[in-house]
Amino acid sequence: MPQILPPNANTFARWTIIGGVIFVILLVISLTAFARISRNRVGVPVAQPVGFQHSLHAGELGIDCRYCHNVVEVSAYSHVPPTEVCMTCHSQIRVGTPQLAAVYESWETGTPIAWNRVHKLADFVYFNHSAHINSGIGCNHCHGRVDQMSAIWKAEPMTMGWCLECHRNPARYVRPREEVFNLAYEYPANQLEIGAQLVEAYNINADALANCSICHR
């Protein structure tokens, strides 16, 4: 029985091993790269039944965030405004334009507009808007420059690692309360100093912020 396999079987065996190792390395690299690129659909605009433009209402017209999202300072859940809020202006303004058809239909039939949600957290995550607003976390820190968005997309990935980035060191991101609704706010050069004072002033218990029960209650 001399040789069962030809000499190039050695080459085949070697390249099978090398190829296997290369395959595993490429798999790991591409999966991490994919996760990084997709980043939980950051920057992907979501289609809506009404082509509502924040860039027009909040940007050009300068309407304050709280005109429509009016419970954000007092409630855990910052709601989407009902049709009535649209109709406070649009019963008089641009009546009959086709872009607003879904709003009038909703008004006449009493059926709410079926907005598509963009920032969806899992139901086992309890997020409280008012807690953040009153602790000096600005709208644009999490939602981006909404006043420049014609359609809404995620500015941040809304993953737990991203949440914890701030909960572990809130002094880096806390701003004065009166600047919370200023979407153009930029953190000053001595943010860490100011932030530390504000954390003290707003009674933020930084040590407990990363505990499980803060969000997963």
Shortest distance, position 161 Cβ to another protein, whole Å: 10
Select 28 or 201, whichever has its Cβ closest to another protein. Answer: 28
**What mask of x and - would describe binding to another protein in positions 8 to 27, judged by CB under 8 A?**
xxx-xx---x----------
Sole binder of another protein in the list 44, 140, 191, 210 (CB under 8 A): 210
For residue 38, count CB atoms less than 10 angstroms from its CB and return exposed for 0-12, middle for 13-18, buried for 19 or more: exposed
Contact between 55 and 45 under an 8 Å Cβ cutoff? The reply is no
Please enumerate, as own/partner, the contacts of 83-91 that have beta carbons within 8 Å and a separation of 24 or more: 83/107, 83/112, 83/113
213 binds another protein (CB under 8 A): no
2 binds another protein (CB under 8 A): yes
Cα–Cα distance for residue pair 202/144, rounded to 1 Å: 23
Select 9 or 56, whichever has its Cβ closest to another protein. Answer: 9
Shortest distance, position 163 Cβ to another protein, whole Å: 13
Cβ-proximal residues to 175 (8 Å cutoff; 6+ apart), any chain: 136, 137, 138, 141, 185, 187, 195, 198
Radius of gyration of the chain (CA): 25
Site for another protein in 151-170 (CB under 8 A): 164
Contact between 99 and 51 under an 8 Å Cβ cutoff? The reply is yes
Count of residues interacting with another protein (CB under 8 A)? 17
Shortest distance, position 170 Cβ to another protein, whole Å: 16
Q: At what angle do helices 83-90 and 101-109 cross, to 10 degrees?
A: 120
Shortest distance, position 3 Cβ to another protein, whole Å: 5
Sole binder of another protein in the list 1, 37, 47, 93 (CB under 8 A): 1
Segment holding 90, helix H or strand E: helix 83-90
Say which amino acid occupies 69.
H
Sole binder of another protein in the list 5, 37, 47, 122 (CB under 8 A): 5
Identify which range of 39-47, 71-79, 147-155, 206-214 contacts another protein by CB under 8 A: 206-214
205 binds another protein (CB under 8 A): no
Q: Give the interface with another protein as residue ranges (CB under 8 A).
A: 1-10, 12-13, 17, 164, 210-212
